[in-house]
Amino acid sequence: MARRRFGDRKEGRLIRSLDPFYTFIPYIMVQKNDACNQFSDSVEVTEIDRWLREKRKEGYKGLGYLHLFIAAYVRLVSQRPAVNRFIAGRRIYARNNIEIVLTVRRGMTAEAGETTIKVVFDPYDTIYDVYHKMNEKIDEIKYGEEDNNTEQVAAALGKLPRFFLRFAIWILKVMDYFGIIPQSLLDASPFHGSMIITDLGSIGIGPVYHHLYNFGTLPAFIAFGSKRKAYEVTRDGTVELRKYIDFKINTDERICDGLDYAQGFKMFKMYLSHPDELLVPPEKVVEDLF
């Protein structure tokens, strides 16, 4: 990791070699919701289903599409680091690590509450690393007796009177602008990270275009849905039943150009379609601009 310089933040380094056009775009499109680009696609999963079943037989109990989507995104970032940038204080930064945020239910009943977890990954991580790191965090939530850091911070703020809560949030936004939020709060915040993901297939519906949060540094939101079936005519004229998973991505267009996103989306789908690529670390990791 490069030595921290003046202007860098705890969670990322200021990119100083960008074209001048990119330096003033955050002043034109101030909020993330001013700069949302939406992308949708689907991945054919007939063979992937078989692949996942084989891995479960090998001992990776519960290995599923959430692990696969996250592993594919981690590998994408290792090769296209521009998608892992973020904007804060109207400047563009290269994130130091890969932080994935997701919502976890404590159970599948209506009474079971939800919370968020943040898992930190290394660009050399394989799908096995993703599996172990995610399951460790999820088990802490499902079987732990204490609230996690996110819940503790939310509970403390929620006890404030409305006026003081609004003032506290304003203070946090100012601190975020200047990069002086304490690391402990950054670790607990579900609004700071590389990407946030939701598995809507777990509740039996298709994906949605989920908004980005104007507060914080999350530049992407991925939602994928339940499997759907489609009968398709093959080249020889026969009809085959195939299965697909649809996914939708909402991104902050200010962090990189359209070519970076286009190449990134293609690479992301390639890793989803060929999960064997994720069994071993990448041969090399690409560094972002300086």
**Radius of gyration of the chain, Cα coordinates, nearest whole angstrom:** 20
In 3D space, the residue among 93, 15, 45 whose CA is nearest the CA of residue 227 turns out to be 45
**129 sits in which H/E element:** helix 127-143
> Which region among 5-14, 112-121, 208-217 has the lowest average model confidence (pLDDT)?
112-121
- Return the residue matching tokens 């993703």: 130
pLDDT, residue 237, reads 87
- Specify the pLDDT at position 1: 57
Measured distance CA(224)–CA(245) in Å, rounded: 7
CB count within 10 Å of CB 221 equals 24
* Cα gap 197→220, rounded to integer Å: 8
Domains delineated in the chain: 12-150+177-279 (3.30.559.10)
For the stretch 242-268, pLDDT in tens is: 999 999 999 999 999 999 999 999 999
* pLDDT number for residue 158: 84
pLDDT for the residue numbered 4: 82
Looking at the predicted structure, is the pLDDT value of residue 36 above 90? yes
Per-residue model confidence (pLDDT) at position 109 = 56
- How does residue 37 score in pLDDT terms, banded at 50, 70 and 90? very high
- Give the residue-averaged pLDDT of 86-112: 85
Tokens of 91: 């400047």
pTM attached to this predicted model: 0.92
Looking at the chain, the whole-number percentage of residues with pLDDT higher than 90 is 80
* pLDDT tens-digit readout, 172-225: 999 999 999 999 999 989 999 999 999 999 899 999 999 999 999 999 999 999
For 122-141, write each residue's pLDDT tens digit. 999 999 999 999 999 988 87
Q: What is the 3-state secondary structure (H, E, C) of 47-86?
A: HHHHHHHHHHHCCCCCCCHHHHHHHHHHHHHHHCHHHHEE
Q: What is the mean pLDDT of residues 95-102?
A: 97
